[in-house]
Chain A
Amino acid sequence: MMETLIAFVTALVILAGAGFALVAAIGLNRLPDVYTRMHAASKAGTVGSGLLLLAVGLHAGDLPTFARALAGFFFFVLTAPVSAHLLAMAAHKVGYPLSTQSVRDEMKGRE
């Protein structure tokens, strides 16, 4: 019974992770410019791969493996904003335009 419950929770986490990855990919295709696409890729994408890693830890069922999976998840959560910020900073400084639908650009003339 306990085994079935753990398998059910693991399956739920797996499906949630894959769903987040799919949502991120759809956002990557639907959003209008680089800066908005970054939202989809770095938030939903990170949660997607992180949840799949957590599912591995849950499935293994021992503490060291779960700790490693958790460490990997934290690593992704730490690095995704850094890389997204660096890339957005570089793109904005170089002068890639915002979408015509965007209402304000607070970084304009600040760098």
Chain B
Amino acid sequence: MTAADAILSYAVWLAFAVLAAAFLLTVWRVVRGPTLPDRVVALDMLTGIVIGFIALIAIRTGFTLYIDIAISLGLVGFLATVAFARFVLSRGTGGGAPRENPAAALLAAAPVKRRKPAARRTGGTGPAVRRKARK
């Protein structure tokens, strides 16, 4: 084993460890991420990290064909993110964007529950309501 091989081997192993940590942190954001766009951003990041993994495997095994696989994975990830962006646009916030703070969301949930029946009462389409709305 020459010095060049040793340097590369150590660097690749260290990079594997660092990338694994980055992967786990990003998965944590996918699991936790309070909103849908958060999760989409984290998934986009996950494809980037997997491309890094593929590049490291290419260095370890010496098969340069892995570069093409990495490029096509990047293309698929880009298309997936574009499709998710269209989905976010068409779906809306899905019943109110969640608050940043879970405690604030819990506090906000209570009055919403009480307001619901009232909203149903005024939300009718009877003639009185329509007259009121025109004013």
- Chain A interface residues (CB < 8 Å from chain B): 3-4, 6-8, 10-12, 14-15, 17-19, 21-22, 24-26, 28-29, 32-34, 37-38, 41-42, 45-46, 48-49, 52-53, 55-57, 59-60, 65, 68-69, 71-72, 75-76, 79, 82-84, 86-87, 89-91, 93-97, 99-100
Contact yes or no, B92 A94, CB < 8 A: yes
Q: In the assembled complex, how far is the CB of residue A54 from the closest CB belonging to chain B, in whole angstroms?
A: 9
- Provide 19 A-B residue pairs closer than 8 Å at the C-beta atoms, listed in order of the A residue: A7-B3, A7-B5, A15-B14, A17-B15, A19-B18, A25-B26, A25-B45, A28-B42, A29-B28, A41-B48, A48-B48, A53-B51, A55-B55, A56-B55, A75-B71, A82-B78, A83-B78, A86-B82, A97-B97
Q: Is the interface of A mostly helix, strand, loop or mixed?
A: helix
Closest to A95 in B: B93
Contact yes or no, A56 B66, CB < 8 A: yes
Docked pose: A100 CA to B3 CA in angstroms = 53
Contact yes or no, B85 A83, CB < 8 A: yes
Closest to B38 in A: A34
Which range holds the interface residue count of chain B?
A: 35 or more
Q: Is the interface of B mostly helix, strand, loop or mixed?
A: helix
Contact A90 B93, CB 8 Å, known A25-B26, A34-B37, A45-B49 = no
Closest 10 CB pairs of A and B: A11-B11, A7-B4, A25-B22, A52-B55, A25-B25, A18-B15, A18-B18, A83-B81, A86-B85, A90-B89
Docked pose: A82 CA to B77 CA in angstroms = 12
Contact A55 B59, CB 8 Å, known A76-B74, A87-B41, A97-B97 = yes
